[in-house]
Structure 1
């Protein structure tokens, strides 16, 4: 019997390049955007009365004044409003701006930590943003709505692994979720991360003084909630992170 000819492997440089979609957003991010759009559409149904709208905002917006009084004397809104406020938006500009940044910064985080951890991260980053807002505006009766705090949390989380790719060039931008997680100290030694944080702080400082560069300038912006979310994502991302599969494979002992 003749020996079978071994399969021929075409050199990598001769293989046609794989086509990478120009717009590739994880399904959980698309689901998040869809949920925000559906909630916004419900908010703006034309047949709502003023009383119904007031009930909707009172029941699902975050109000710092709720926590300045004994919770036993209130309803149960204080339980869910630290999260549900992040699903409400006040205008098309508001939801469009948050949706854009959600696609940019949530995509690498979602690819890295998976659906379940992404949902948990959303819940806790929303609560952290609301907590700092409540501390600064203790007893205030204004309403806090919008996903900006969560988006800021995702920005802070991305600083721990996504931006260093620009320094090390270990993976391309589309594979940034495969980068090893940096410690807080190592992140602050990255020129890319530091430059981004400085620009982010400068932008929120302008907002604090009433200067809105992008987004909806017709409504006050809760810059403090942004800071709460960012600090949560940057400082506590390791609690939600999981080691990238490529790192696990490379660290596994090989048999000789």
Structure 2
């Protein structure tokens, strides 16, 4: 029997986990639909009901729905964006740092980190506004959730690959990267440098009014809140999702 030639296997151009593509797809679908279907009044109502408005915490009676939307807006604000540039930046950021977290912890792990990071960002933003001259803000964008994925990735992406040996052949086998302790993250020069740079950049945004004399409409406090949440979450995920971890 003649050998049948086999077509070479094709590798995907972007090896991005499905859950990351779904999150990106949802964000783009929401933004495009709102852009095409809603006028200024409709867009305002969308943000009133689904963006996170810290003022509801103390002045809920002044808003449509009162304080009730606080039950979901801590999460749903992550799927709304100011404009296409805002969305594009968060999309790229999500692909870069969400991919390693998705490969390691799977769909459930990504959703836990992303959604809790968005919530943590909203909480920290609310606390920060209590000490701000401008005590009103409408929080929207995936930055808090993506910051959380960035923080989670810091726990393992700079760690060396653990190598074991096959029980039958004795050949070396890559077992993946271990999860670093919090102390280990800051002891590792690469992860420490990244975190210092990342935090410094966000603090620079926060001090922009004093440096440039003009405010910058970026929720840097939400970034930091999400990042810290993400930095802590792998300690919990490792206990409940070891079977889903991938190198």
TM class, shorter-length: 0.7 to 0.9
* Aligned residue in 2 for 1:151: 146
1:195 matched residue in structure 2: 193
TM (normalized to structure 1)?
0.76
Q: Distance in 1 between matches of 2:16 and 2:182?
A: 27
Residue 205 of structure 2 aligns with which residue? 207
1:226 aligns with 2:223: yes
1:36-90 C-alpha deviation (Å, 9 max, x unpaired):
1001112211x5233222111100011110111468x925211000000010011
Alpha-carbon distance in 1 for matches of 2:98, 2:242: 18
Cα RMSD (Å) of the superposition? 2.8
Q: Which residue of 2 aligns with 1:8?
A: none
Alignment gaps of 5+ in structure 1: 1-17, 212-217, 248-256
Structure whose CA Rg is larger: 1
State the TM-score, normalizing by the size of structure 2. Answer: 0.79
Q: How much does 1:142 deviate? A: 1.8
**Residue 63 of structure 2 corresponds to residue 68 of structure 1:** no
What is the SS of the residue equivalent to 1:181?
A: coil
Answer 1 or 2: which has greater strand percent.
Answer: 2
Aligned residues: 216
Deviations 1:85-126 (A, max 9, x none): 010011111011010010000001011111122212222111
Whole-angstrom CA distance in 2 between matches of 1:68 and 1:108: 39
Distance in 2, matches of 1:155 and 1:88, equals 20
Q: Which residue in the other structure is 1:253 paired with?
A: none
Conserved in 1, the CA contact under 8 Å of 2:157 and 2:177?
yes
Measure, in 2, the Cα distance between the counterparts of 1:177 and 1:109.
16
User: Is contact 1:26-1:110 (8 Å) kept?
Assistant: yes
Gaps of 5+ in 2: 1-8, 164-173, 210-214
CA shift, 1:21, in A, is: 4.3
